[in-house]
């Protein structure tokens, strides 16, 4: 079977990597725009590290710190307007998925005049400002993907804008920025990363390369399970030492490299409605749904499930389900009417074409019902 593998992002990983490799910024110009959310990049040290590195390289910068969770296109247009006015050469994205995804859209919009509809439908020229990414959570993997996931009010869901030109040029992954993340954010983002690795294995676009990365990512997650469970039980981040933060960061970046090749599956498609309409965290939504999709896959292609459970050190899907229940707690309430509506949305997404085991609408309804009974 043929496959392709393309991942042009230079990954620099490790403690204080921005200071150590600050010279890398100078290849992208003399004027940078830092794109971030309002607070966390200022408290976790990432913004300071970036500004110090830019100053060291005599690069001017402005800060656009207006990205909220679940970025809208309006925010991206605002950022692009400023980038054009100031004549920005490149963007440094700092944050979780939201600032990184917004930064990628800003990078595209700074190079062209297109409507919101054109942006969300992929009708644009593949030109963009270079983006350098500094992840401050371990989950999205956006630092190594060509996707910008944006809130799309036109279809009441999330839309992934994709272009090879928005692969970050560099990903500076420093786990120290993740030290103070809460128990809830740590668990939800870790499960998002796990979901990326698992869905990569379940994708029609998987290959020996993506599977290798996915299984390593899953194994890294499994080595953190005990700490994640203890943190949840004690409601304390004390157990997340630097070794754990380091493994979770690697797990996330590897899983991002997986979905850059494979895309995601019905799990993400179903999860998007839970996030859009019910404000359920993205990683949590995936985690709640995963076991039920594994059951369906197991009926048709059980060897795929083995590929996932084996690196987790688990023997059964039931054990996987119990693990998710322990880490995530009780699921939210979702009504039958909501389930019908979310299922219809899910089966009409491009993600369905990615599924090696493609569920029918009825099976999607059933997955929701069993999960949120």
Binding residues for Zn ion, total number by CB under 5 A = 1
| CB of 217 vs Zn ion, minimal distance in Å | 13
Contact call for residue 281 and Zn ion (CB under 5 A): no
By CB under 5 A, what part of segment 153-172 binds Zn ion? none
CB closer to Zn ion, 99 vs 130: 99
CA 45 from centre of chain? 21
CB closer to Zn ion, 272 vs 320: 272
| CB of 257 vs Zn ion, minimal distance in Å | 14
> Which of these, 97, 100, 104, lies nearest to 127 by C-alpha position?
104
Contact 48, 56 (CB under 8 A): no
CB closer to Zn ion, 175 vs 263: 263
Give the SS3 label for residue 245. helix
CB closer to Zn ion, 143 vs 192: 192
| CB of 268 vs Zn ion, minimal distance in Å | 6
Would you say the C-alpha torsion 214, 252, 75, 108 has a positive or negative sign? Answer: negative
Contact 198, 141 (CB under 8 A): no
Contact call for residue 192 and Zn ion (CB under 5 A): yes
| CB of 87 vs Zn ion, minimal distance in Å | 34
The Cα–Cα gap between 328 and 316 comes to: 19
CB closer to Zn ion, 192 vs 211: 192
Long-range CB contacts (within 8 A, 24+) of 303-306: 304/201, 304/202, 304/356, 304/357
Give the SS3 label for residue 164. helix
Contact 211, 303 (CB under 8 A): no
CB closer to Zn ion, 32 vs 346: 346
61 forms beta bridges with: 32
| CB of 31 vs Zn ion, minimal distance in Å | 32
Contact 328, 350 (CB under 8 A): no
> Which of these, 190, 130, 171, lies nearest to 257 by C-alpha position?
171
| CB of 97 vs Zn ion, minimal distance in Å | 7
| CB of 286 vs Zn ion, minimal distance in Å | 6
- Which range in 21-29, 123-131, 192-200, 305-313 contacts Zn ion by CB under 5 A? 192-200
- Say how many C-beta atoms besides its own lie within 10 A of residue 207's C-beta: 17
- Which range in 67-75, 190-198, 199-207, 348-356 contacts Zn ion by CB under 5 A? 190-198
Give the SS3 label for residue 124. coil
| Structure tokens that stand for 342 in this block | 């979310």
CB closer to Zn ion, 59 vs 191: 191
- Which range in 2-10, 110-118, 189-197, 322-330 contacts Zn ion by CB under 5 A? 189-197
Residue 128 backbone dihedrals phi, psi, to 5 degrees: -160, 155
Contact call for residue 143 and Zn ion (CB under 5 A): no
| CB of 196 vs Zn ion, minimal distance in Å | 6
Residues at the interface with Zn ion (CB under 5 A): 192
């Amino acid at each position: 079977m043929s496959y392709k593998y393309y991942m042009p992002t230079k990954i620099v990983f490790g403690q204080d990597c921005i200071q150590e490799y600050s010279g890398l910024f100078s290849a992208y110009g003399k004027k940078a725009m830092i794109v971030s959310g309002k607070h966390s990049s200022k408290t976790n040290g990432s913004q300071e590290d970036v500004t110090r590195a830019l100053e060291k390289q005599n690069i001017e910068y402005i800060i656009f710190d207006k990205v909220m969770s679940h970025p809208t296109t309006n925010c991206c247009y605002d950022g692009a307007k400023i980038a054009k006015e100031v004549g920005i050469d490149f963007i440094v994205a700092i944050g979780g998925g939201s600032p990184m995804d917004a930064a990628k859209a800003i990078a595209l919009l700074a190079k062209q005049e297109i409507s919101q509809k054109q942006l969300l439908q992929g009708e644009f020229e593949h030109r963009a400002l270079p983006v350098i990414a500094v992840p401050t959570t371990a989950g999205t993997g956006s630092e190594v993907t060509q996707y910008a996931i944006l809130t799309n009010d036109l279809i009441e869901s999330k839309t992934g804008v994709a272009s090879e030109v928005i692969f970050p040029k560099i990903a500076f992954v420093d786990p120290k920025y993740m030290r103070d993340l809460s128990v809830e954010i740590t668990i939800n983002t870790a499960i998002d990363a796990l979901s990326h690795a698992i869905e990569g294995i379940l994708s029609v676009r998987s290959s020996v390369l993506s599977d290798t990365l996915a299984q390593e990512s899953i194994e890294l997650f499994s080595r953190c399970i005990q700490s994640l469970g203890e943190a949840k039980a004690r409601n304390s981040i004390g157990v997340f030492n630097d070794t754990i933060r380091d493994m979770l960061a690697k797990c996330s970046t590897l899983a991002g490299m997986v979905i850059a090749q494979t895309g995601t599956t019905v799990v993400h498609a179903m999860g998007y409605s839970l996030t859009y309409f019910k404000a359920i965290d993205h990683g949590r939504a995936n985690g709640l749904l995963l076991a039920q999709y594994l059951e369906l896959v197991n009926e048709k292609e059980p060897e795929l499930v083995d590929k996932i459970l084996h690196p987790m050190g688990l023997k059964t899907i039931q054990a996987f389900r119990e693990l998710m229940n322990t880490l995530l707690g009780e699921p939210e309430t979702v009504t039958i009417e909501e389930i019908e509506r979310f299922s219809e949305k899910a089966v009409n997404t491009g993600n369905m074409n990615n599924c090696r085991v493609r569920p029918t609408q009825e099976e999607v309804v059933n997955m929701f019902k069993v999960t949120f009974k």
